[in-house]
Every structure is written in structure tokens, then in C-alpha cells.
Chains A and B, each alone.
Chain A
Amino acid sequence: MNPQLEGIETLEGTYPFDLERSAKALRVNRFFRGLIVPENRQLFRDRPEAAFDKAGLTDEERQMVRARDWRALVHYGATFFALEKLARVSGVSNPEMVAQMRGETLETFLKTRNVPGAR
């Protein structure tokens, strides 16, 4: 156990991106990171299944990506900063991602914010 993280498990709904998660989710994180290359984005938009094949994603991984299931992807081991690239390519905003991870609608989430119009 990393002594810097001792007690982190008491923070509910928090998944520190450590080496174990990084190893488990290397393939999906690499796929998301690859979306910074225009050709990969184009392939993903035009033929998502071909893009999944190229990245060697498993069925479980493909299903989470198809569903844009941010919460499941975080549980699986994706890092938010790789997911952010999938979100940008998918036209999904960070408030929408956060709302989904909290299990709320965007409208409900925005009501909890100081400046709901700052999007």
C-alpha cells in the first residue's frame, strides 16, 4: 500500500489511478489517448467497430465505450484525463460526464452549481 494513500478507501466514490488500475486499463486508456490523432478520430467517427478492432478492445471495453458509460469506465480503470478525450470527440461536456458519474441528470447536477450558465 502506498503510504501516501493510506485511508483513501474511506473516500466513497473515489478511485485513485494507481499502477494496478493503469495496467488493467492500459488498452482502453491508450485507445482514448489515441483520439488526439485526427486519423484515429475520423476512423472512430466513421467506423467505431473498426477503431475498436484496431485498438484490440475486449467486448466488455467496447460496450462501455459505446454506451459512453463514464462511471463504469472509471470503475474499470480509465483515467478521467483519457476519458476527457473521448468526451471531446463525442461532443460531451465535462459537466455532463460528472453528472452521469454522480448518477444525476445534467439538470439536477447544474442546480447544485454556483453558476449553472458557465458552460
Chain B
Amino acid sequence: MARIIGGIGTSHVPTIGMAFDRKKRDDPNWTPLFEGYDAVASWLAARKPDVLVFFYNDHATSFFFDLYPTFAIGVSDEFAIADEGLGPRPLPRIKGHPRLARHLAESLVNAEFDLAVFQDLPLDHGCNSPLTMLWPHSPDWPGALVPIEINVVQYPLPTALRCYKLGQAVRRAVASYPEDLKVVVVGTGGLSHQMQGERAGFNNTEWDMRFLDLIEREPETLAAMRHVDFARLGGSEGVEVIMWLAMRGALSDAVRKIHQSYYLPMTTAMAVAVFEEPEAPPRAAAETAMHGARIPA
């Protein structure tokens, strides 16, 4: 059976990918960002998930307003890195997991989450910017990624509560997948930032800290908030943290935040957090126990 072993919340601002591509780790302006992600990369390297289910948003790159889906799932074998004006980042194509993705699409639509299905569309910085901080990519990515796109760009957006419920439906769908797979859910975006109008450059670290606390302990409080509340507290583009609620909805009540880092150098608060599910009984031990029970006394 497939199993969700944990979750990651991460900003996806393009400068994270830019700092990575320009090898800024030793630049003191950027070192704190890299160090904040080190523990996350180590956790992934140790836990070795087969698949990352990635709640992200496209930025009018692969989807445009002639048809902008509220929710969409990518079911391809692989996804190209999007060209967003400067040519694509020099990265291998991102591997999909078509069997799990098809299962999720079928399960979610049957659970009345009528999402759109896409194939063969490039993934933009909403997905690829944090990915290089999480996983190595040379010679290739160590696992597959199932992208679930959420409209946080063109109102009406799905409500925070709807995103949370989507995550809960993804949890049930993963649990009903027959193949043994370790899955990590990733919610992207935020934290506080506003990139438009005279209020551009708005940040609110106090709110960001409260959000990072509530997302672990009281996600229902966040799920009850309206978009205007998120915009007032975290800036107009800060509304995209509703994608963290999709991630959190896919985790259990017993999940614990085991890492958090926060860096606000310029316009966008860059945060990353890891949420770990309690360990299931180790498989080998469980099998030994079963085997042992069969040995006649």
C-alpha cells in the first residue's frame, strides 16, 4: 500500500531557483537560505520517498486565462522545465508517476473533486524553484513527482477550506493505491509577500510565524480564513499559502513539525518546514513477527 510519510511546506519564489543556479551558497546574502534547506534535503535523502505529490501553482506559463483550471493534476511520464522568459533552467526533465497520478485522478473525481487532467505541459518555478533545494538532480532526480496545480492567480480562487479538503481526499486516495510507495506531500508558496500595486513589498513576519505554528497545530483555524484575511495579513500574493493547507490536509493529526527555517532578504518571506508522520512499524520487524507466529512451538 502507498503511504504518506510526511510533508514539506516551502516557498517557491523564483529567486530560490536563481540562487541555486548561480551557486550562491557561499554568498553571505544567500547562505542562510541554503542552510535552511539542508535539513530538508537530508531528511528526504534519509527517508527516500518514491514520489513527491506537489501542490503548486502555475504562473500563467503552461496555463493561460483562456482556460485556467481551479485544480489540475499532471499524469505524464515526465514534464519539461518551463521557459519563463530566460530559457529553461538547466535541469533534467521532471519524472512523473503516471500510474499513481491516474489513480489519484480517478479517486479524486470519484470523491467529487472534479479536477482537470493535464499531460505534457512544462512545470514552472511554482514547482521547479524549490525542487532543486529538496532533491539532487544529477545525473537524474531520485524519484518521481505528481504535480497538482491550484489556481491562486485568478479570482475566484478555491477557498482555503476547499484546499484543505483536497488534501484530505489526496490522503485517502494515496492510502487506496495498492503498490508499496513512500509518498511525501509538498505544499508550495508564500509566505508573506505582495508583488503588485503601491502596497508591493509588504511583509509581515509576525503573521508568518503564527502561520507556521497554526499549520502544524490548528490547520482548521487557517482553513476557516477568507482570501481577504490572508491578503491583509500576508500580502496579496501571500494568499497562495492556501496550497500549504492542501499539503497539511493530506497529513494526519499525529504529524509533527521537525524542521523550520525562515529567511526574508528582499520581497518574499522564504520559509521551509518538514512535517513527519509517526513511524509505521518497520516492515522487516512486522514480517519477522508474522513468520515467528507461524513456527510451531
A-side interface residues toward B, CB under 8 Å?
Answer: 2-8, 11-19, 22, 26, 29-30, 32-33, 35-38, 41, 71, 74-75, 79-82, 84-89, 94-95, 97-99, 101-103, 109, 112-119
Contact = CB atoms under 8 A, between A and B. Distances in A.
Count chain B CB atoms within 10 A of each CB in A29, A80, A88, A95 and give the residue with the most: A80
A80 B195 contact: yes
B200 A17 contact: no
A16 B236 contact: yes
Interface in B201-252: 201, 226-228, 231-232, 236-237
A4 B60 contact: no
Interface string B68-91: 000000000000001111110000
B194 interface: yes
Q: Chain B's interface: helix, strand, loop or mixed, by majority?
A: loop
Given A74-B196, A84-B85, A33 B60 contact: yes
B181 interface: no
A89 to B, nearest CB: 5
A11 B236 contact: yes
A9 B292 CA distance: 68
Interface in B147-169: 153-157, 159
A22 B154 contact: yes
Contacts of B198: 12-13, 71, 101-103
Interface residues of B, number: 41
Contacts of A109: 201
B267 A95 contact: yes
B30 interface: yes
A75 B30 CA distance: 33
B138 interface: no
Contacts of A33: 60-61, 64
A118 B265 contact: yes
A3 B266 CA distance: 32
Given A14-B197, A80-B195, A81-B153, 15 more contacts: A3-B226, A4-B155, A4-B228, A11-B232, A14-B231, A14-B236, A17-B196, A19-B154, A33-B64, A74-B197, A79-B153, A80-B196, A102-B200, A118-B266, A119-B266
B103 interface: no
A41 B85 CA distance: 8
A93 B164 CA distance: 34
17 contacts: A4-B156, A4-B226, A11-B199, A12-B199, A14-B236, A15-B196, A17-B196, A33-B64, A37-B83, A38-B83, A75-B197, A80-B195, A85-B60, A86-B85, A101-B196, A101-B198, A113-B266
Nearest to A10: B232
Given A15-B197, A30-B64, A5 B228 contact: yes
A96 B226 CA distance: 31
B266 A79 contact: no
A75 to B, nearest CB: 8
Contact of A79 (B154, B157, B201, B232): B154
Count chain A CB atoms within 10 A of each CB in B156, B201, B227 and give the residue with the most: B201
B196 A6 contact: no
Given A14-B199, A84-B59, A26 B65 contact: yes
